[in-house]
Amino acid sequence: MLYPAIHDLKKHVDSSYMIVTQAARRARELQEHPDSAFNESYHSYKPVGKALEELSQRKLNISK
């Protein structure tokens, strides 16, 4: 099961496309600079999962 669920993310971000692009951008940042993490602990160990968690917790600014 995906955490956080897509319907939970859609409450904060209107567009599925925006969720995907922002998560991919943040996951790339986390891979290149692991020390840039916002949280001390994550449910996921993969960068994409971490990025989605940050999106659901509103720790990322959504830029258009």
Any idea where the domains of the chain sit in the sequence? 6-56
Peptide bond into 4 cis (omega under 30): yes
Residue 9 CA to residue 6 CA, distance in Å, equals 5
pLDDT at residue 2 is higher than 70? no
What pTM, to 2 d.p., does this model score?
A: 0.76
Residue 64 is predicted with a pLDDT of 58
Query: Is the predicted pLDDT of residue 1 greater than 60, yes or no?
Result: no
pLDDT of residue 52: 86
Contact (Cβ atoms closer than 8 angstroms) between residue 58 and residue 13: no
Q: How far apart are CA 37 and CA 50, in angstroms?
A: 9
The number of beta carbons lying within 10 Å of the beta carbon of residue 25 is: 13
How does pLDDT run across 10-53, given as a tens digit for each residue?
Answer: 887 888 888 889 889 999 998 998 777 776 777 788 888 888 88
Candidates 29, 22, 16, 15; CA nearest to 62 is 22
